[in-house]
Amino acid sequence: MTATVIKGLEVAKPKRVELTERVKALTAKGVIPKLAVVLAGSNEASKVYAQSKQKVADPLGIQFELFIKPDDVSTQELTALIDQLNADPKVHGILVELPLPKTVDKEVVMNRLDPKKDIDGVHPFNRGYLLGGQEDRAIVPATPKSCLELIKSTGVPIEGAAVTILGRGDTVGRPLNSLLINRGATVTVCHSKTKNIDAIVKSSDIVVAAIGKANFVKAEWLNSKQVVIDVGINAIPGGITGDVDTKAVDVVAYITPVPGGVGSLTTTIIMDNLLDAIKLQGK
């Protein structure tokens, strides 16, 4: 093993200390940060994600409330719940766990969120500010923000770096593209239609894999100076694995593990977004 392994929890720790201080300062002003999580349907992974948010929120002094809806919930029931949470001055952030049941129009629900309480940055308003380079007005989606923090933790400069993002998804690839362009990286987004993907990956300084295919990125595509961020969470017999060949750890300079990398930081970033949202709300 030649690479330095970037552990999500190690990056999360100082962030949590900082968040604890911010929560204390808000509480002293009479603002007790509160996160509302909407869990619709019986998706097991979503349940686990919701619980992990509560586990991170509690010790930080952040209030957490879970709103559970059945598998056959209607779009209208969910938008009514969103309206209620939007109007509640004690709720500062709303997160709707995905995927939603098939009976629900996801877009209608997401677009109903008050953009200032949309702490995973899914509302077109927040996406638009990000695309327009106006991050100060936006709440940035947590997973790409997490990727950014992990890259920053290596000390490898982002400005001027050649970055390859694998995957053009709405959750990671697209918003991360904007985040990195805003910071002066030269970004290439690769996907299923890309030709010569191995050569593109090989020639880059930073590689972010968010393509959702186990071991898609081969160790032979990588070089010894690279930072590799593996966003993939793919189920395999006996556990989970990332999008990057496990042998990559013997090739590159820095790499995030799966599990224990991006995912371990993202929940903390959600809380960071909650406190940023409170600021945007003028509290």
Q: Which residues bind a copy of itself (CB under 8 A)?
A: 107, 123-134, 137, 159-160, 162, 168, 170, 174-175, 177-178, 181, 184-196, 200
CA atoms within 13 Å, Cβ hemisphere of 278: 23
3-state secondary structure of 186: strand
Q: Which is nearer to a copy of itself, 188 or 234 (CB)?
A: 188
CB of 221 to a copy of itself, least distance (A): 15
Structure tokens at 184: 């002066």
CB of 174 to a copy of itself, least distance (A): 6
CB of 277 to a copy of itself, least distance (A): 16
Residue holding tokens 């966003």? 231
Q: Which is nearer to a copy of itself, 177 or 256 (CB)?
A: 177
Q: Which is nearer to a copy of itself, 13 or 137 (CB)?
A: 137
Q: Which is nearer to a copy of itself, 76 or 134 (CB)?
A: 134
Residue holding tokens 């959702």? 212
Q: Which is nearer to a copy of itself, 44 or 196 (CB)?
A: 196
Q: Which is nearer to a copy of itself, 12 or 119 (CB)?
A: 119
C-alpha span between 227 and 245 (Å, rounded): 14
CB of 55 to a copy of itself, least distance (A): 30
CB of 136 to a copy of itself, least distance (A): 11
C-alpha span between 262 and 2 (Å, rounded): 20
CB of 141 to a copy of itself, least distance (A): 11
C-alpha span between 191 and 50 (Å, rounded): 30
C-alpha span between 26 and 154 (Å, rounded): 31
Q: What is the DSSP letter of 64?
A: E
C-alpha span between 177 and 161 (Å, rounded): 13
Maximum Cα–Cα distance for the chain, whole Å? 56
Q: What is the DSSP letter of 253?
A: S
H or E element in which residue 37 lies: strand 34-40
